[in-house]
Amino acid sequence: MSEPTIESLRKEVDAINLQLLELLNKRAALASQIGKLQTSQGMTLYDPQREADMLTALQMANQGPFSNATISALFKEIFKASLALEEKEARAKIVVQRKTPDQNTVIELPRGVKIGDGSFQIIAGACAVESFDQMDAVGEVLASEGVQIMRGMAYKPRSSPYDFQGMGEEGLKIARKVADKYNMVVVSEIMDASQIPMFQDYVDIFWVGARNMQNSFLLKALGKIRQPVILKRHFAATLKELLYSAEYIASGGNARIILMERGIRTFNEEVRNTLDIGAVPLLKMESHLPVIVDISHSAGRRDLANAFGRIAKASGADGLMVEVHPNPPVAMSDAKQQLFFDQFRALMAEIKTVTRPEKAY
């Protein structure tokens, strides 16, 4: 009898492949049936003890050449695939996940302002509300440049309890007044679920800061309001974590969420955070939500504004956020990064030189 050749052995492998295929699908169909029964009986789909029992049985039956470790690893993959299938309908419930290539959430705001409609929106204003005069000066410049969305930050999350913590409700009142004067919508950072009713009197967009990105109590509460939410990525959060945080809000009923990339903490020395511009196309691939880029807290310095503005627009983002102040060196927070008025006007001119792509990736 002749020796087997590579060719002949490969034919045998091909045949086994098809048998494995059939069995895997048969198994999947059974698992799906079990899943439906479990769901109807209110049981969770994932049953680690059942999996442990199956693995034990397989290891006892295993005669090699695959080791028990390899068999366990392979079957764990099969279990996982089956579970994934069972969860498919469940998964359809992941609200923030992109379902089709051209699904894009458009956030509609008062005064006809939109985010995510293909335009490149500018959100601008001082780091913090410091006085009416300061806000009024900023508002005038913003309005003259056609900005529609104004920062009106009245509660400042600060690392130190001894730093300026914001003007509080008084600041919200100023922000609202200035926004109305210049026909803009206003966004403000909320720190705690207990502030929601008060904020609803003043602001058009709620802002969740990096430090609260995984505050599930606050996120769940924001799932119950009617205003849109800007969700700022924590400087050490993965994109998956950011999307799950958005899901905390969306699964509660409020899917009007804007994701914000703002730089991540790395070993770099020249910048406050490292702008992770790749996050824009990646978030767009994964989710239908609008994505904007914070070019102030990423760079942490004024002289990168033009470059970061161009980059943000070229990346396919739906807009950018930038801090502007009448006299940045004496600002009560983020003095190094807020733009002088002239710099802000230069930025607005600069970003006009770059085309926003229709598709981010």
User: Where on the chain is the footprint of Mn ion (CB under 5 A)?
Assistant: 127, 334
- Chain positions 255 to 284 lying near its own copies, rule: CB under 8 A, are 264-271, 274-278, 280-282
- Closer of 20 and 201 to its own copies (Cβ): 20
Cα–Cα distances (Å) from 358 to 262, 289, 311, in that order, read 22, 15, 15
Q: CB of 361: closest distance to its own copies in angstroms?
A: 5
SS3 state of residue 108: strand
Is the separation of the CB atoms in 181 and 141 below 8 Å?
no
Where in 179-198 is the site for its own copies (CB under 8 A)? Answer: 191-194
**Residue 183 contacts which entry, its own copies, Mn ion, none (Cβ below 5-8 A, type-dependent):** none
At closest approach, how far in Å is the CB of 160 from its own copies?
Answer: 5
4 binds, among Mn ion, its own copies, none (CB under 5 to 8 A by kind): its own copies
| Helix H or strand E segment including 17 | helix 6-40
127 binds, among its own copies, Mn ion, none (CB under 5 to 8 A by kind): Mn ion
Beta bridge partners of 122: 320
Which two tokens mark 75? 């079957």
Residue 217 in contact with its own copies, rule: CB under 8 A: yes
315 vs 321: CA distance, rounded Å: 14
Bridge partner residues of 207 (DSSP): 189, 230
The answer to whether residue 346 forms part of the interface with its own copies (CB under 8 A) is: no
Per CB under 8 A, the segment of 49-57, 120-128, 130-138, 254-262 that binds its own copies is 49-57
For residue 110, state whether it binds its own copies (rule: CB under 8 A): no
Which structure tokens are listed for 134?
């300061």
Q: Say which amino acid occupies 120.
A: F
Q: Which of residues 29-48 bind its own copies (CB under 8 A)?
A: 29-34, 37-38, 41, 48
**Residue (104 or 143) nearer to its own copies, CB:** 104
Tokens of 242: 């950011």
Residues binding its own copies: what is the number (CB under 8 A)?
A: 124
CA distance 81 to 71: 15
In the complex, least distance from residue 156 CB atom to Mn ion, rounded to whole angstroms:
8
User: Footprint of its own copies on residues 84-103 (CB under 8 A)?
Assistant: 84-85, 90
Burial of residue 112 (number of CB atoms within 10 Å: 0-12, 13-18, 19+): exposed
- Note whether 49 binds its own copies by CB under 8 A: yes
Q: What x/- string results for residues 132 through 171 when contact with its own copies is judged by CB under 8 A? A: -------------------------xxxxxx--x------
The entry of its own copies, Mn ion, none near residue 30 (CB within 5 to 8 angstroms by kind) is: its own copies
Structure tokens at 12: 């045998």
Is residue 1 close enough to count as binding its own copies by CB under 8 A?
A: no
Greatest C-alpha distance within the chain: 98
Residue pointed to by tokens 């049981």: 43
φ, ψ of residue 322 to 5 degrees: the values are -145, 145
